[in-house]
Structure 1
């Protein structure tokens, strides 16, 4: 797998990075110790470690990193026992001078420059053999390495992209702003006491029991989704329908042979709210899951759309039917004859979904799936995956063998017969994620992308909605310019 992610290096901005760092630190402190003044309870890293740093590793650090460390704030050492906390859900905090430059290979065992890689922050204990937010001093770019032994990417470590520190910190602030990660006082108070065993309940009565709070929990909590994420997803679909309707002809050119989005008329067909209730009654989703909340909110939205609006993306329409088993098909792909398009993953029955859905083999109905949704409260229950059918993936006769389609992080998608997600399941996804653990793309990013493709004219609109049929998706692989139009912003 080759990468084309080699854009001009963005300049590392120590002042901006320190400002973002301090904002995250301040928000975490507000959740941990809201009664203690942040400025009075913190100091700069340099005020605490500067003398030691000057005596040990300062000469091996880039001047820009030292500028950053002179502005970035940390909790005062005398308050550590009173308010022990992590900097962020994924990061324990800025490293001490003696652990900034490790004496073991971080990225490349053959690297001759022993000072090249700096572990600026150590990660929390989410995985075994944790590493940290690593800065390459040759480029002053960084990436978060959760573990030396557990790799959730589908590319070699040497190929992972590097991004400026301020981009990573800005992504983390965005997670806080969106409510994906929250800072709350005393996460130990969230213990489910009904789940404790007899000895633990006896310890509570004796006053000797202390809740076990993971070292990565205080004061940060990772939520499957948030109200802001739900609102943004619903708004994105609303904007998509509005953008399509504005461009549809004022009257239908011909009768519509299919039911409109979400109309429960055919046998077995259901409105979106009814699908949500079915998911609950069959234990496929919980009352608090993203998909149930989303389906309930968009039910009226879809029902009020123009009756002749069928396609919200090329050959992709509202499912409007009973969901089978998770993961859940949200918008299904439809061929020109009205039948459901299928994805068979040429070259092998590869399954894009995680356990416990691995047992299912191809074909899968094409379309947009809420991927890997589980009842047990997954970390990203609004993540999705687009599956494209064979006629898109397999090159038609006479077509060039040159390929251009890329993942969001800029890797050429594996083609049919190769191991990996390929164009069948890899469009919009990332091969690796240098911000957080790898996961499917969030639904609102895809819907907002579809809005942009309608508004900029990449996708034409006819009397039935977005035009072009399944063949329209081929253009993602036809040229560099079109491949770029089918990539999403690279973020968490």
Structure 2
């Protein structure tokens, strides 16, 4: 199993050590939420060498295909490449999807009403955000992003947060990492590409955006909110996000990650968890970010005009101020 040894100094007194009771409670919560499931021994097994008797009565060693399916038909879970039998982590649950869709509807309803584009009693537009043909053209595989985009409704506004907007059709199709899997098929096996969900002005290098190899081979990427769902095969959660801003935040030493630590100066640390003591490299959930955006719109901290949330991308510099840093922190370690 992967460990924290190559990432953290385990003698650091500031690490967020947890009581064993807290760790076990967290895993119980994951089981109850359907995020961790026990798989039948026949599911997801690799081919193995075994004795096979031929028609001539001779026995030879051949590769024997497993009898069970690759994916659990009930949960969609795949077996980890590490021997954690019978447990495996589910990339996303029905509850994850419905919670996100509910927040999506609430957020855009509030923005549309505040912008004057819709009355409170008026029924919302039911056109889906993206057609299945559009998803196919953008190279979006079946999974959380696919299900979300094909079920979420098309809003009447463009800007969902300051300087962050829905993409135009041509932008949506031209995903920045669309061709990486074809160039690196072995390295990206079992990994889904980072998906650019919402756009912001400007571009940064892949290094500044902290995308891991081989996605870091793309020299320049657009700014915006990415579904960075599969940072590695051991952490399969598909609803994790990465906000990439056109400027670094954290230089004023006021911005904080959601674990309460001072943020390192970075283009991608706004909404970051900081140190997650329960699992490696899990970005903030999309629901946590949508909740934060909804809070900022409802409270009036973010203003709204006919195009949606106003203020421009420079508004995000408030995350590094004494007065407003707490308005740019996501919920910490939500299931």
- TM normalised by structure 2 equals 0.73
Q: Which has the larger radius of gyration?
A: 1
Which one of 237, 241, 245 corresponds to residue 388 of structure 1?
245
Residues 384/202 of structure 1: CA separation in 2 closer, same or farther (3 Å cut): farther
Please state whether the residue corresponding to 2:151 is helix, strand or coil. Answer: helix
Match of 1:359 among 217, 221, 231: 217
Deviation at 1:156, TM superposition (A): 8.3
**Structure 1 unaligned regions, length at least 5:** 1-125, 128-145, 252-260, 265-269, 334-340, 396-400, 416-421
Cα contact 1:263–1:320 (8 A) shared by 2: no
Tell me the alpha carbon deviations over residues 359-395 of structure 1, each in whole angstroms, 9 at most, x when there is no partner: 1223x211101115489896122211001113xx389
Provide the C-alpha distance between the structure 2 equivalents of 1:292 and 1:154, rounded to a whole number of angstroms.
38
C-alpha distance in structure 2 between counterparts of 1:312 and 1:342, whole Å: 17
Q: How does 1:446-457 map to 2 (within 5 A)?
A: 446-457=289-300
What pairs up with 1:332-343 in 2 under 5 angstroms?
Answer: 332-333=199-200, 341-343=201-203
Q: Which residue of 2 aligns with 1:189?
A: 42
Task: Show the counterpart of 1:88.
Answer: none
Q: How many residues align?
A: 290
Q: For residues 51-450 of structure 1, what are the structure 2 equivalents within 5 Å?
A: 126-127=1-2, 146-148=3-5, 150-151=6-7, 157-163=12-18, 167-184=22-39, 186=40, 188-192=41-45, 196-197=47-48, 199-200=49-50, 202=52, 216-249=83-116, 271=130, 273-279=132-138, 284-287=139-142, 289-298=143-152, 301-302=153-154, 305-306=155-156, 309-321=157-169, 322-324=173-175, 325=178, 326-333=193-200, 341-344=201-204, 349-362=207-220, 364-371=221-228, 373=230, 379-390=236-247, 393=248, 402-415=252-265, 422=266, 424-450=267-293
Following the alignment from structure 2 to structure 1, what is the Cα–Cα distance between the partners of residues 52 and 217? 43
Alignment of 1:454-473 (within 5 A): 454-473=297-316
Contact 2:258–2:332 under 8 Å retained in 1? yes
- Cα 1:323/1:250, change in 2 over 3 Å: closer
Structure 2: distance between partners of 1:219 and 1:405: 41
Measure, in 1, the Cα distance between the counterparts of 2:326 and 2:321.
11
In structure 2, the gaps of 5 or more residues are 54-58, 67-78, 119-124, 179-192
Hey, what's the Cα distance between the residues in 2 that align with 1:357 and 1:201?
A: 42
Q: 1:155 to 1:316 in 2, by over 3 A?
A: farther
Which residue number corresponds to residue 72 of structure 2? none
**So what's the TM-score if we normalise by structure 1?**
0.51
CA distance in 2, matches of 1:351, 1:214: 28
Is the contact made by 2:249 and 2:269 (CA closer than 8 Å) also made in structure 1? no
Q: Is the 8 A contact 1:317 1:331 kept in 2?
A: yes
Structure having the higher helix fraction is: 1
* C-alpha deviation, 1:343, in angstroms: 3.7
Distance 1:189 1:272 in 2: 36
Cα RMSD of the aligned pairs, angstroms, is: 3.8
Q: Distance in 1 between matches of 2:25 and 2:209?
A: 34
Partner deviation per Cα, 1:153-205 (whole Å, 9 max, x = no partner): 59984432245555544433332233221234x3x11035xx525x33739x9
Q: Is the 8 A contact 1:262 1:271 kept in 2?
A: no
